[in-house]
Structures are given as structure tokens and as C-alpha cells.
Amino acid sequence: MEELQEERVRQILSSYESEPGRLVPILLDVQTSIGYLPEEGVQMVARFLNIGVGQIYSVASFYSRFQLTPVGRHRVTVCRGTACHIRGAPQILGEIEKGVGLKEGETSSDLEYTLETVACIGCCALAPCIKINADVHGELTPRRVKEVLLSLGGGETDA
């Protein structure tokens, strides 16, 4: 873990009391600060709370909100809910995979993109839709997917 990341974790821990009940808020703060939960950061939290590293990984792997590996600057989430599926989510996912050169669950080596799917984004009226970081893009077509990717500064123009 980089020295800067280690310092960030120390600062976060200094604002909490050493009580196991503080685990989730601490992990959320670490992830917000660093972007994911690095192994060394998890070990620091375990020592601070006097709990096992395994207990932290149990919590972190239970909640889908936590990331144990770095994620891309553009986190692309494709909805696979019923409305999106019926309206073309599989084709949308295929276009994104071609456009960014990743398969579902992968992160690009330059940490520019992470591609993931979820059961439902909750925007059924906009189906098919994706979320890029906090922004929802709805009523997508393969052509609109290309436009959205190009607006991010990536993706292929002739995919």
C-alpha cells in the first residue's frame, strides 16, 4: 500500500473509537478515500478494532458495495433486470464489452474502466439502461452506447 493510502487509513481510524461496531462505517470511509479496500488497509482496521482479518473480509464480501480490488475511473454498470433484458440489455452489454475491451467483472489494466452487471438499477422506465459512476443513461441502443463511451473519452468508434 502506498504511503499516502496508509496515511489516509490512519487519519480515518483516528476519527473513530476502537469498537467492533464501527467496522462498516470505517470500511466505507476507507473505500471512499482510496477507492477500494486494500489488503494492508484491512489489516490496519483489524488491528485497530482488535478483530480478525477474516471477520472483516466476511463483512466486506457480504456487502456488494465493498470492493476488494481497485476499480476503474469509469465504473460501468449494466442493468440486467427484466425490463432492461426484454428491451435489449444483452446487446447493450455486448456493445460495451466491444467498446471498452472488457468482459463483465473485469477492470482495465490502466484502471480507466470497470464493467459489471446488476440485477436491477431501479430505472425500469428508462430500459435498457446503464450507470456510469453515479450517472444513469437510459433508453439505450447500440448506437447510443457508442456515443456514451465516446463522451467518456474511450471506446472504439467502429465497434
Inside any domain, residue 24 = yes
Inside any domain, residue 106 = yes
CA distances from 87 to 50, 73, 98, 149 (A): 50, 28, 19, 20
Contact 129, 138 (CB under 8 A): yes
Inside any domain, residue 47 = yes
Residue in 18, 70, 68, 3 with CA at minimum distance from that of residue 42: 68
State which of 62, 83, 103 marks the end of a domain: 62
User: pLDDT at position 157, please?
Assistant: 43
The DSSP secondary structure of 74-87, one letter per residue, reads EEEEEE-SHHHHHT
Inside any domain, residue 27 = yes
User: pLDDT at position 16, please?
Assistant: 93
State which of 12, 33, 62 marks the end of a domain: 62
| Residues in a beta bridge with 116 | 77
Query: Domain check: are 82 and 145 in the same one?
Result: yes
Structural domain including 19 reads 3-62
Inside any domain, residue 22 = yes
Q: Which three cell numbers stand for residue 44?
A: 490496519
Query: Domain check: are 11 and 35 in the same one?
Result: yes
User: pLDDT at position 156, please?
Assistant: 52
Query: Domain check: are 126 and 85 in the same one?
Result: yes
Single pTM value for the model:
0.74
User: pLDDT at position 33, please?
Assistant: 93
User: How many structural domains comprise the chain?
Assistant: 2
State which of 62, 84, 104 marks the end of a domain: 62
- State the helix-helix crossing angle for 39-49 and 23-34, rounded to 10 degrees: 150
The rounded distance, in Å, linking the Cα atoms of 80 and 117 is 7
**Consecutive sets of 10 residues in the chain, 159 residues long: mean pLDDT of each?**
89 92 96 93 96 95 90 94 97 95 94 94 96 95 93 60
